[in-house]
Amino acid sequence: MTSPRHVPVLLDRVVALLTPALDHDGSVLVDCTLGLGGHSEAVLERCGLARVIGIDRDPNALELSRERLAPYGDRFTAVHAVYDEIPDVLADLGLDEVDGVLFDLGVSSMQLDLPERGFAYAVDAPLDMRMNPDAGLTAADVLNTYKPRELVRILKEYGEERNARRIVDAIVRERAKEPFTSSERLVALLYEAIPAPARRTGGHPAKRTFQALRMEVNDELRVLERAIPAAIDAIGVGGRVVVESYHSLEDRLVKRAFAAAVATDVPDDLPFVPEGHEPALRLVTRGAEQAPAEETATNPRAASVRLRAIERIRPGKGAAA
């Protein structure tokens, strides 16, 4: 069982948004970011008619969540996959549609808590950052082999790092002497490269660079860009997609996909929507919901969360074009 500080962000609100879609026999939730299974456990506990399919690219997370959720028997199924593979996962399980899809984006608490995974900047560790530790480039590979202009783009786009050019210039100088292998060396470089006034605001000076490297290593935005439309297409009437984002680019992508899904082809100046042109989906949340102050006080990760939900109200495809 996980410790109290591993309670998922906005857990009660997320379960409340999913419950109307999961209150019938045979209902199915796809938890696309299974992690330690906190969301899945809450749904299995509170929605007694539902079963959960948990997807994660991290085999360590799958092992831990299987153990945690074993008391629920065949109501829980764990699948090793990346969440843009939703159509394949459902096809393999013989499912045409599901009733709910949940995304809790970003790095999991388990990954942050294991130093050898290289996600955390507070301890020295190998620069890995792969959510699936058996596949793909590591953060060290990115630092040591990417062209300077690509590194600048990544730090600016994914990390919103204002000092991207200064940081990359320092990285290029240092990697010419010796390739990067550890987080400690990178953190020390960031302290040197970022001007003192900038270090005093916006949290730890390594936060933005580590976030950017993680998002690049795991191709997070491009995976999400494919996954949200696939999730919308996967839900049946009454089904809901719920997304928790922690980065402005992620939230913008979700907002855009949801807006496209609820749009109609009826001109704005038409006083009514003709039959057959009604949108197949509706927004459940008004804009993006945020965590209340009392939750952010006890869980710093909650401060940046943006929660959105959408529901299918008519048959038909509703994903973003």
Buried-exposed string 133-142: b where 16+ CB fall within 10 A, e elsewhere: beeebbbbbb
**Which pLDDT belongs to residue 207?**
85
Ligand-binding annotation for 38, yes or no, is yes
How far CA 129 is from CA of 79, 137, 199, 293, 294, in Å, comes to: 21, 9, 23, 30, 31
List, for residues 141-154, the tens digit of each pLDDT value: 999 999 999 999 99
The larger pLDDT score, comparing residue 266 to residue 173, is at 173
Q: Is the pLDDT of residue 77 over 50?
A: yes
**Which pLDDT belongs to residue 291?**
94
Ligand-binding annotation for 246, yes or no, is no
d(CA 66, CA 76): 8
**Which pLDDT belongs to residue 2?**
39
Averaged pLDDT of the chain = 87
List, for residues 62-74, the tens digit of each pLDDT value: 999 999 999 999 9
Domains in the chain, start-ordered, CATH in brackets?
Answer: 4-110+220-312 (3.40.50.150), 132-217 (1.10.150.170)
Decide if 119 contacts 65 (C-beta within 8 A): no
Ligand-binding annotation for 83, yes or no, is yes
Under the banding of pLDDT at 50, 70 and 90, the label for residue 5 is: very low
List, for residues 184-232, the tens digit of each pLDDT value: 899 899 988 888 766 666 667 788 898 899 899 989 899 999 999 999 9
List, for residues 115-146, the tens digit of each pLDDT value: 444 456 667 788 888 878 777 799 999 999 99
Q: Is the pLDDT of residue 4 over 60?
A: no
List, for residues 265-305, the tens digit of each pLDDT value: 655 655 556 566 678 999 999 999 999 999 999 888 888 89
- Average pLDDT value for residue range 26-47: 95
Decide if 188 contacts 182 (C-beta within 8 A): no
Ligand-binding annotation for 239, yes or no, is no
Ligand-binding annotation for 56, yes or no, is yes
List, for residues 157-166, the tens digit of each pLDDT value: 998 888 999 9
